[in-house]
Structure formats: C-alpha cells, structure tokens
Amino acid sequence: MASKPLVGAIDQGTSSSRFLVFNPKTAEIVVQHQVEILQKLPQAGWAEEDPKEILHSVIECIEKACDKLKQLKIDVSSIKAIGVSNQRETTIVWDKKTGLPLYNAILWLDLRTQSTAEKLINNAPNKNKNVLQEKTGLPISTYFSAVKLRWILDNVEKVRKAVAEGRALFGTVDCWLIWCLTGAQESGVHCTDVTNASRTMLFNIHTLKWDPDLCKFFDIPMSILPEVRSSSEIYGLMRCGTLAKVPISGCLGDQSAALVGQMCFKPGQSKNTYGTGCFLLSNIGEKPVISQHGLLTTLAYKMGKDKPAVYALEGSVAIGGAVVRWLRDNLHIISTAEEVEKLAASVGSSYGCYFVPAFSGLYAPYWDPTARGTICGLTQYTNRNHIAFAALEAVAFQTRESCSIPKGSPTKLLVARSNLNQCNSSLDI
C-alpha cells in the first residue's frame, strides 16, 4: 500500500534550523531534526551568521530527518511538498555567478546600522521615524533589511563591484535558501514571498510591489531585488539531496508561519511565539491598519497568486529566548537552555532583581535603538538563581507590554507557543 502523503517544513530560525515532516491531515509531526547555528558577534552590537552554514544546517536537517523516516520504514518519496519559514529581515547578498555569499548574513537584531537609521530619521520631515509607515507599516529602525543593505553597499567593496557588474543578488534567508535549493548558479529561483518582502522596508504593503520611491530613499538598486510571489505556489523544485524533485511550494516569514500554524485565520485571532525573540501577531484581515501605538503592520499571508493578502499587527520583542542563550554563552551560569528552569524554580522569585535585556535596543512600542540592557536591584543575597528568574520574568514583562498595546480591535484568542514554553516557569510567570 502506498504511504500517506507527507509535507516537509524548513524552519530556519535565528538560533537553530529545523526540518519537520508532517502528516498534513492530522498536523502530527512524524519526524524532525534540529541544528543550532553559530552566531558571530565581531563587535559590540554586531550579530552575523554564515549563509553557507545556514544552508548546510538546513541540508543536514533534511537529510537527518529523511534518515529518521527510513528508520520508521516510511518511504521518503511520501514527502510531496516543502515549505520554507525563516528568521525575517536578516540580510544576505551573494554572487549569482559563483553562488557564494559576498558578506556574512547581517542578523535582524544587529545594531550596526544605528547611525544609518539615525541619519535617515534626521533627514526625514520633522525628524519623524514614522515617515515611511503609511507605505511600509514600519518605523525607520535598525531592525529592517533596507538599512542593513544600505550598510553593506556603503561598506563592502566586493558587494559594490558585484552590483556594478550585475552579479549581486539580495535576499532574506527564505530567498537565499530557495535560490540555493532550486539549483543556485544553474537554475536557482530568485524569489521571496510577500510576508518576507514586507520586512525589508522597500515593499509597498498596499500595492504588494517593490516601491521605486522607497528604493530611492534608501538608494538601493532594484536590479538586485528578488521577484515577490505569494506565500503558497510552486517556486521551483529541489535540485539536490534525498528530496531532489520535490516542489518547494510554501514560503512565509517565521512569525507569519506561526500565525498560520496556530490557525489564526480570523481578524482578532492572535499568537505569541517565544524563540530568539518574542513576537505577538494579531490577524487584522484584508485591510492594513496603521498603528498609532508602536505596533508594526505586516503581511500575514497570501495563500495563492489570486488570493487576497491578509495583514497583521505585530508587537516585536527582540530578546526572548536569546536572554537564556546569553546566560549560557556569556555568563556561563547554565550549560544548557533547559537548566534555566531549575535555577528559577529553586528560588521562585528574583527578590527585587530586575533584568532588562535590551541587547538590541528596545523594539515595540519604543523603537529605541539607543537603549541597552541592565540588571539592577542586586544585593549581596542575589545569586545566579535570582538572575535566571529575573531573565525569565523579563520575557514575561515584555510579553505583557506587547499584549497591552492598543490594537484597534480586541484580541479574541491568544495562542502562545514555542521552545521557551517547554520551560514551565516562564509560562507560570
């Protein structure tokens, strides 16, 4: 008897890559594999990843998940389609002739563009950081791809040369992965979807097209931008590995994917996801609403070429699970992320210690790139357990703040999910 059709999902996040194989009828996960990604922090505020490592981690996850399927005696040819979801805004420029990246991926939470963003705001009428909000749904901030791309064009000679010679391609992580997996130099498809495009600040969220005026504002050559497609259509076929010839037929920025995954299809339905950052998205239907209170307006999904675009309001928190990684990698007070729960639970309170993990400035609703993290309220009594508790409490405080920003329509349902949720203390807080 033929095996039941399955669907594969690439989830390329800031901290890790995953490949999950689902039964599309029941949404049950059949197998999955996950690989952590190395983050390079070459200077204070800078955060990069190697695009080749990102790609290889995804390929490793696909191959290992397929091995697990084989161990379960399930034919890998049961995987009929693959979807891509990805950390958004992270900016990659590569050479279409060599297939190689021309610079490391600049991560969404990188702060190197603080002065670029400040300069743009100072030149805007009334120094208004929301001068592009009507068109893009976003404030001028270090967060979005356009300023990162501007920085690369200003600072990386190799990229300038490749642009002049017509060899450079720009893309967010979805775009890089789809181009590589559909054949790179030979047959790579250079495309992105509307949800990812809406995080670049070069995309008009009303016309659903790259906007020449926005490109002029940031002085970005339109020739390097990918084609913008819907979130659900066949972009191309896998050209390598065990899943060669399987169509890649879905693409959504990870927070939009989470909204879809939680089936928040009606206006007012919302989800909050805890990964590296923490993102509350609320479905607002087919008309974009511009927030007066520091929320972003973003594309939620467009489920086919001829299907309507659906929008969301978003409360973004840059540092969620990343604070736990910082306790592990920088303070070394835990050796695995899971341990944080034991430490926090052992005290049950921070005893007046507060942790503001503004490592990447503050996002919604402040949009202040100059903010920096702090731990305060320390006494001689404070130990690592209290700091662990305060770190988890900080994620909860930031979430509460996102939930309390007025959204224009009441939230009817809020679903919370992800890795940090495995940590019961964080949910209890």
Ligand X SMILES: O=P(O)(O)OC[C@H](O)CO
Which residues of the shown chain bind ligand ADP in the complex (CB under 6 A)? 13-16, 275-276, 321-322, 324-325, 337-338, 340-341, 418-420, 422-423
- Residue 88 contact partner, candidates ligand ADP, ligand X, none, CB within 5 to 8 A by sort of partner: ligand X
CB of 277 to ligand X, least distance (A): 4
- Pick the binder of ligand X from 250, 277, 288, 357 (CB under 6 A): 277
12: CB partners within 8 A, 6+ apart: 18, 54, 57, 58, 84, 85, 86, 87, 173, 174, 177, 254
340 binds, among ligand ADP, ligand X, none (CB under 5 to 8 A by kind): ligand ADP
| Segments in 219-271 forming alpha helices (H) | 254-261
> Among ligand X, ligand ADP, none, what binds residue 204 when CB lies within 5 to 8 Å by partner kind?
none
The residue type of 304 is: G
- Decide if 124 contacts 205 (C-beta within 8 A): no
Which of 188, 275 has the CB closer to ligand ADP? 275
The phi, psi pair for 215, rounded to 5°, reads -65, -35
| Contact of residue 16 among ligand ADP, ligand X, none (CB under 5-8 Å per partner type) | ligand ADP
Q: How far is the CB of 377 from ligand X (least distance, A)?
A: 27
Evaluate whether 140 touches 83 at the Cβ level (below 8 Å). no
Contact between 341 and ligand X by CB under 6 A: the answer reads no
Query: What are the backbone dihedrals phi and psi of residue 78, each rounded to the nearest 5 degrees, phi first?
Result: -70, -20
Binding to ligand X (CB under 6 A) within 65-124 occurs at 87-89, 108
Give the one residue of 137, 275, 361, 365 binding ligand X; rule: CB under 6 A: 275
**Only segment of 111-119, 252-260, 303-311, 405-413 that touches ligand X (CB under 6 A):** 252-260
Round to whole Å and give the CA distance between 10 and 84. 5
Structure tokens at 303: 């489920």
Helix (H, G, I), strand (E, B) or coil at 159: helix
- What gap in Å lies between CA 272 and CA 86, rounded to an integer? 16
Residue 264: helix, strand or coil by DSSP? coil
Q: Least distance from C-beta 211 to ligand ADP, angstroms?
A: 29
Is residue 61 a contact partner of residue 35, using CB atoms and an 8 Å limit? yes
Can you spell out the DSSP letters for 365-385?
A: TT-BTT---EEE---TT--HH
Q: Which is nearer to ligand X, 107 or 246 (CB)?
A: 107
* Nearest residue (CB) to ligand ADP, 164 versus 427: 427
Q: How many residues sit in the footprint of ligand X (CB under 6 A)? A: 12
The two structure tokens encoding residue 34: 């996950």
| Cβ atoms 125, 132 nearer than 8 A | no
Comparison of 283 and 316: residue with beta carbon closer to ligand X: 316
**Residue 324: contacted member of ligand X, ligand ADP, none (CB under 5 to 8 Å, by partner type):** ligand ADP
Binding residues for ligand X, rule: CB under 6 A, are: 13-14, 87-89, 108, 253-255, 275-277
